[in-house]
Structure 1
Amino acid sequence: MAEPDRLLGGYDPNAGRSAHAAQRPTLIPVPSLLRALLSEHLDPGYAAAAERRGGAPESGRARAFGWVWQALAATLVAAVFAAAVAQARSVEPGVRTAQQLLVRSVRSTEGSTSKLAKQRSVLSTQVDDVQRHALADDAEGQRLLSRLDALSLAAASTAIIGPGLTVTITDPGASPNLSDVSKQRVNGNRQIILDRDLQLVVNSLWASGAEAISVDGARIGPNVTIRQAGGAILVDNNPTSSPYTILAIGPPHAMRDVFDNSPGLQRLRLLEISYGVGVTVNVSDGLSLPAGSVREVKFAKQIGP
Structure 2
Amino acid sequence: MTTGPTSHRDETPPVTTPGRRPDESMTLLTSMMERPLDPGYAAAAAEREAAGLPPSTGTSTPTVLVAAVVIGLLLTLGAVALRTPSSSAIKAKANLVSQIETRRSAVEKQSTQLRAMQSEVDKLQALALGQDETSLQTRLAALTLASGAEPVRGPGIKVVLDNAPGSDGTSADGNPRTDAQKDDGTVFSKDLQVVVNGLWEAGAEAISVNGQRLTSTSAIRFAGEAILVNYRPLARPYTISVLGDPEDLQVEFAGNDGGAYARALKDNYGIRVSIDAADSLTLPAATSLTVREATVPKPKSGAPAATSTSTPTSSTSSTSSTSESSP
The TM-score normalised by the length of structure 2 is 0.60
CA contact (8 A) 2:171 2:187 kept: no
Q: In structure 2, what is the equivalent of residue 6 of structure 1?
A: none
Q: In structure 2, what is the equivalent of residue 240 of structure 1?
A: 235
Match of 1:82 among 77, 84, 96: 77
Q: In structure 2, what is the equivalent of residue 287 of structure 1?
A: 281
1:107 maps onto 2:105 in alignment: no
Describe how 1:38-187 pairs up with structure 2 within 5 A.
54-57=39-42, 61=56, 64-65=59-60, 68=63, 71-72=66-67, 75-76=70-71, 78-79=73-74, 82=77, 92=87, 94-139=88-133, 142-176=134-168, 185-187=181-183
Higher helix fraction (1 or 2): 1
1:218 maps onto 2:203 in alignment: no
CA contact (8 A) 1:157 1:294 kept: no
Report deviation, 1:276.
Answer: 4.1
Q: 3-state DSSP class of the match of 2:264?
A: helix
Q: In structure 2, what is the equivalent of residue 201 of structure 1?
A: 195
Question: Given the superposition, is the C-alpha separation of residues 201 and 101 from structure 1 closer, same or farther in structure 2, using an over 3 Å criterion?
Answer: closer
State the superposition RMSD in angstroms. Answer: 4.1
Q: In structure 2, what is the equivalent of residue 250 of structure 1?
A: 244
How many angstroms apart in 2 are the aligned matches of 1:229 and 1:160?
Answer: 29
How many angstroms apart in 2 are the aligned matches of 1:301 and 1:101?
Answer: 38
Question: Given the superposition, is the C-alpha separation of residues 275 and 71 from structure 1 closer, same or farther in structure 2, using an over 3 Å criterion?
Answer: same
How many angstroms apart in 2 are the aligned matches of 1:150 and 1:223?
Answer: 18
Report deviation, 1:278.
Answer: 4.1
Report deviation, 1:212.
Answer: 0.7
**Structure 2: which 5+ runs fail to align?**
1-27, 29-37, 46-54, 294-312, 317-327
Report deviation, 1:225.
Answer: 2.5
How many angstroms apart in 1 are the aligned matches of 2:314 and 2:58?
Answer: 86
Report deviation, 1:120.
Answer: 1.7
CA contact (8 A) 2:195 2:258 kept: yes
CA contact (8 A) 1:184 1:192 kept: no
Report deviation, 1:233.
Answer: 3.4
Q: 3-state DSSP class of the match of 1:153?
A: helix
Report deviation, 1:104.
Answer: 3.7
The TM-score normalised by the length of structure 1 is 0.64
Report deviation, 1:209.
Answer: 1.7
Question: Given the superposition, is the C-alpha separation of residues 91 and 167 from structure 1 closer, same or farther in structure 2, using an over 3 Å criterion?
Answer: closer
**Structure 1: which 5+ runs fail to align?**
1-41, 43-52
Greater mean deviation of Cα atoms: 58-67 or 276-285: 58-67
How many angstroms apart in 1 are the aligned matches of 2:131 and 2:210?
Answer: 39
Count, aligned residues: 248
Question: Given the superposition, is the C-alpha separation of residues 62 and 258 from structure 1 closer, same or farther in structure 2, using an over 3 Å criterion?
Answer: farther
Question: Given the superposition, is the C-alpha separation of residues 151 and 180 from structure 1 closer, same or farther in structure 2, using an over 3 Å criterion?
Answer: closer
Report deviation, 1:85.
Answer: 5.2
How many angstroms apart in 2 are the aligned matches of 1:202 and 1:125?
Answer: 28
Q: In structure 1, what is the equivalent of residue 253 of structure 2?
A: 259
Question: Given the superposition, is the C-alpha separation of residues 134 and 90 from structure 1 closer, same or farther in structure 2, using an over 3 Å criterion?
Answer: closer
Q: 3-state DSSP class of the match of 1:164?
A: strand
How many angstroms apart in 2 are the aligned matches of 1:63 and 1:156?
Answer: 91
